[in-house]
């Protein structure tokens, strides 16, 4: 298993000047020699260059929030894996719930994006997670606990199988899974340690079933309302290998505290 990983997903926030200020402040605080955990900043495309310049020479890596499933051509408004590599990205987030649910991204598109990204040497953060309705339906009715657990995991299982089913063990080396329950994203309502532990264990078991040799080595992150106030609880869960942070990554104070707590 690699080091713990902290990813700051800035989503559609920050102009270039603001992105420069935030990333340079993060570099100042974390320092060039900080390597207790791996840190990735994921700004909007327009700020990739500014952030890339600020983190140059530090241990922080650059990531992008999305990619298209073709390497070039007439796809107005899209961005390709080689373009991201060219812009200095080492990582790309794929299948974020905001893209799945607000922009209609399908499992098939996600599979293509992963495949192409890996072929260009990008490391992939594959996001999966159930909606509030899916969880409510799964726990409703008079079922036993193990059936409820199986039903809660069912949509996540489908997302992982559809995204990764076609890959071999080698392909898995460049993939990190982020469990982000949709109902916890941007709501201030994080999943409890028990809920996180249950899903992370199910993800681990599924990965080992699908990839007996490398399934145990894939890092599994948690995301959804991660804050300074809940990071210790979240990281106390054995199967959590790091976090994907949205809102709290936009403030240097909170992001730094999260990084410090994870790396300590």
Per-residue contact string for residues 234-253; x = within reach of ligand 13P by CB under 6 A: ----------xxxxx-----
For ligand 13P, the closer CB: 205 or 233: 233
Contact with ligand 13P (CB under 6 A): which of 60, 185, 235, 240?
185
Residue 75: strand, helix, or coil: coil
For ligand 13P, the closer CB: 126 or 164: 126
Query: What dihedral do alpha carbons 227, 257, 8, 59 form, nearest 10°?
Result: -160
The verdict on whether 180 is a catalytic residue reads: yes
Closest-approach residue to ligand 13P (CB): 246
Q: Is 186 in the site for ligand 13P (CB under 6 A)?
A: yes
What's the sign of the alpha-carbon dihedral 143, 149, 155, 158?
Answer: negative
Q: Which residues contact 215 (CB under 8 A, 6 or more apart)?
A: 172, 204, 206, 207, 208, 209
CB of 92 vs ligand 13P, minimal distance in Å: 13
Q: Is 224 in the site for ligand 13P (CB under 6 A)?
A: yes
Q: Which residues contact 82 (CB under 8 A, 6 or more apart)?
A: 71, 72, 120
For ligand 13P, the closer CB: 84 or 258: 258
The verdict on whether 101 is a catalytic residue reads: no
**Active-site residue (options: 38, 96, 98, 130):** 96
Q: Is 212 in the site for ligand 13P (CB under 6 A)?
A: no
Q: Could you tell me whether strands 123-128 and 220-223 are parallel, antiparallel, or unpaired per DSSP bridges? A: unpaired
Contact with ligand 13P (CB under 6 A): which of 225, 230, 254, 262?
225
Give how far the C-alpha of residue 70 lies from the chain's centroid of Cα atoms, to the nearest Å.
Answer: 21
Instruction: Calculate ∠ Cα 145-217-182, nearest 5°.
Output: 50
Give the Cα separation of 224 and 130 in Å (integer): 12
**Active-site residue (options: 38, 98, 180, 198):** 180
**Binding site residues, ligand 13P, CB under 6 A:** 9, 96, 180, 185-186, 223-226, 244-248
Active site residues: 96, 180
């Amino acid at each position: 298993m690699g080091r713990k990983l902290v990813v700051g997903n800035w989503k559609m926030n920050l102009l270039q000047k603001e992105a420069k200020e935030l990333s340079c402040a993060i570099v100042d605080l974390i320092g060039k020699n900080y390597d207790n955990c791996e840190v990735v900043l994921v700004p909007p495309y327009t700020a990739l260059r500014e952030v890339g310049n600020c983190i140059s020479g530090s241990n922080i890596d650059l990531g992008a929030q999305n990619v298209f499933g073709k390497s070039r051509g007439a796809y107005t408004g899209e961005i390709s894996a080689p373009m991201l590599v060219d812009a200095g990205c080492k990582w790309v987030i794929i299948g974020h719930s905001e893209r799945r649910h607000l922009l209609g991204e399908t499992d098939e598109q996600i599979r293509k994006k992963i495949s192409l990204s890996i072929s260009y040497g990008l490391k992939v953060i594959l996001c999966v997670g159930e909606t509030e309705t899916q969880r409510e339906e799964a726990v409703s009715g008079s079922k036993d606990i193990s059936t409820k657990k199986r039903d809660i995991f069912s949509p996540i299982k489908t997302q992982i199988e559809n995204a990764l089913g076609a890959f071999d063990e080698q392909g898995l080396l460049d993939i990190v899974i982020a469990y982000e329950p949709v109902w916890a994203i941007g709501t201030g309502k994080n999943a409890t340690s028990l809920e996180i532990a249950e899903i992370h264990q199910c993800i681990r078991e599924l990965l080992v079933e699908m990839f007996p040799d490398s399934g145990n080595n894939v890092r599994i992150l948690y995301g959804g309302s991660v804050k300074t106030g809940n990071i210790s609880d979240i990281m106390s869960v054995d199967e959590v290998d790091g976090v994907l942070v949205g809102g709290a990554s936009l403030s240097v104070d909170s992001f730094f505290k999260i990084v410090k707590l994870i790396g300590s």
